[in-house]
Amino acid sequence: MRIVKCFITWLFLIALLGCEVISSINQREFMDVKLIGVWAGEYLDKEGTLKKWIQTRNADGTYTIDFSYRETDGGVKRFSESGRWWVKDKLFHEMALMDMQRPDKYRYRLDEKCVYFELVEDGELMDQFEDYSFNECLIENSHQANINENGHLVIFQWNNHKRIVH
């Protein structure tokens, strides 16, 4: 009887450890390969500044963004940013290497060639922030990645609104 109790106790502990492993796997960072590529976005803020950018997301989790801000007085500011990106807990995370201690977190939804982002947590302004959402669309003739039904990474590009697989 004592052996049966020990066996059941061990079996219970193994089951609990298995649940913990499954839970931690679901919480790991990963790269959503559909976000790899060169994307263009823009946002008009409340003050009338038009913010445009080109973002390159790489498969190694790095990114670069080239920004162009057109102020209401007609002046233009240009600058670049680089950092890391990943997906965790169904949220897109982005963290500039030089400026941030914590990542910005976004809900995101992918269409065929565009992705919609909605800021849910600002890494620097941990208190209230204004509603911030925007679209980015894959630039024509740029490469994008996806996983096919066999689990293989496939690189493709959009050319004249047609998907070309490499």
| pLDDT at residue 83 in the model | 95
| pLDDT at residue 152 in the model | 54
| pLDDT at residue 153 in the model | 55
Q: Which two tokens stand for residue 132?
A: 């911030």
The three-state secondary structure class of 102 is coil
Domain co-membership, 45 together with 80: yes
| pLDDT at residue 140 in the model | 75
Look at the block and give the residue holding tokens 């052996």: 3
Distance separating alpha carbons of residues 149 and 166, to the nearest angstrom: 16
| pLDDT at residue 112 in the model | 81
Q: Which two tokens stand for residue 34?
A: 């559909």
Domain co-membership, 53 together with 108: yes
Distance separating alpha carbons of residues 17 and 137, to the nearest angstrom: 42
| pLDDT at residue 25 in the model | 40
Q: Which two tokens stand for residue 22?
A: 């499954």
Residue type, 165: V
Domain co-membership, 42 together with 102: yes
Domain co-membership, 1 together with 19: yes
Task: Give the pTM.
Answer: 0.69
Domain co-membership, 12 together with 91: no
Residues (pLDDT < 50) of the chain are: 19-26, 158, 161-163, 165-166
| pLDDT at residue 26 in the model | 44
| pLDDT at residue 98 in the model | 81
Query: DSSP secondary-structure letter at 78?
Result: E
Domain that holds residue 121: 33-140
| pLDDT at residue 123 in the model | 75
117 domain residue, yes or no:
yes
| pLDDT at residue 14 in the model | 59
**Contact, 87 vs 32, CB < 8 A?**
yes
| Phi-psi region at 61: left, alpha or beta (left = phi > 0; alpha = psi -120 to 50) | left
Q: State the total domains in the chain.
A: 2
